[in-house]
Amino acid sequence: MIQYKQLMITIGISFFIALILGPIVIPILQKLKAGQSIRHEGPKTHYSKAGTPTIGGIIIIAAVFITTISSGRLNTDLYIVMFATLAFGFIGFIDDFIKVVLKRNLGLKAYQKLIGQVLIAIGIAVYQAKISSYGTQILIPFFNKHYLDLGILYIPYIVFVVVATTNSVNLTDGLDGLAAGVTLIVSSFFSLVALNWGYPSIAVFCGALTGACLGFLKFNAHPAKVFMGDTGSMALGGAIASVAILMNLTLFIPIVGGIYFAEALSVIIQVISFKLTGKRVFKMSPLHHHFELCGWKETKVVIVFWSVTLILCIIGLYALK
């Protein structure tokens, strides 16, 4: 059984790998001219970010994989979460590559992304339903470890969870250090749960993810030297979703990942409101841009969202009892 000391070592190894990879990957992205384009309707303070290298999520993915593979704790569960992370990261990479390297603004079409996401989600759902001793059950928060059996609804439910989570994390990635910092905290939560619930391989993976996000923040914190792009945000979403699925904790994602949920919900509300009434509820969506346009500095928004996530993860730990 992996212990807390081993978990900290795993986090440290992944952290240092990310620190080493940063100065290697960023110049390569600069040579490829993989610069981020900025929305003209967005906050004016973001205009100076135009041209900042993106696709930096490669740093996170590489650090996680190197650390995880070298841990010596490979098993089927670990292969599943690694596959999900890589597969979603690959979808994001293709989209980024088309947009920023080939200079085609549209990238992948929405339906192409959705098809890929659904196929990956179905694979994870089928695996968990057949392999897990809990089958199609999911843990209900705050109900003293009571489980709900979804039966035939399990697979469509998991597909919804995976697609919603990956796209929510993608929407969260809009400010320097926001998605990486929030995911760092969320993955720390899942690593602690995995450690105490007898999922050593998942604990290693989450520890590696935590360390990789922490190392990436060295280059992604304000002012960012590199952005993770869809490569990183999609990979992070796939990682968090698959980890929660394998531990039957999908209902905890809206709790500990409340910031993801709020970001996605703000977009949905904005779109519905504008189509029905012609009016916008928020100054701009996703939610982090609303606060920016309310006068908050970017760093303040990020720190507040990190703090909220930390509080939500503490609530999540209480919800496990």
Query: What residues form the annotated binding site for Mg(2+)?
Result: 170, 230
Backbone angles phi, psi at 314, to 5 degrees: -65, -40
Q: Would you state the structure tokens that stand for residue 37, as one six-digit string? A: 């384009």
CA distance 145 to 137: 11
Q: Are the C-beta atoms of 198 and 176 separated by less than 8 Å?
A: no
Query: Whole-angstrom Cα distance, residue 216 to residue 227?
Result: 9
H or E segment and range at residue 44 = none
Element (H, E) at 137: strand 137-140
Q: Is 287 helix (H, G, I), strand (E, B) or coil?
A: helix
Annotated binding site: 170, 230
- Rounded Cα–Cα distance for residues 117 and 103 (Å): 24
Bridge partners for 147 per DSSP: 139
In angstroms, rounded to a whole number, what is the distance separating the alpha carbons of residues 56 and 61?
9
Q: What are phi and psi of 134, to 5 degrees?
A: -90, -10
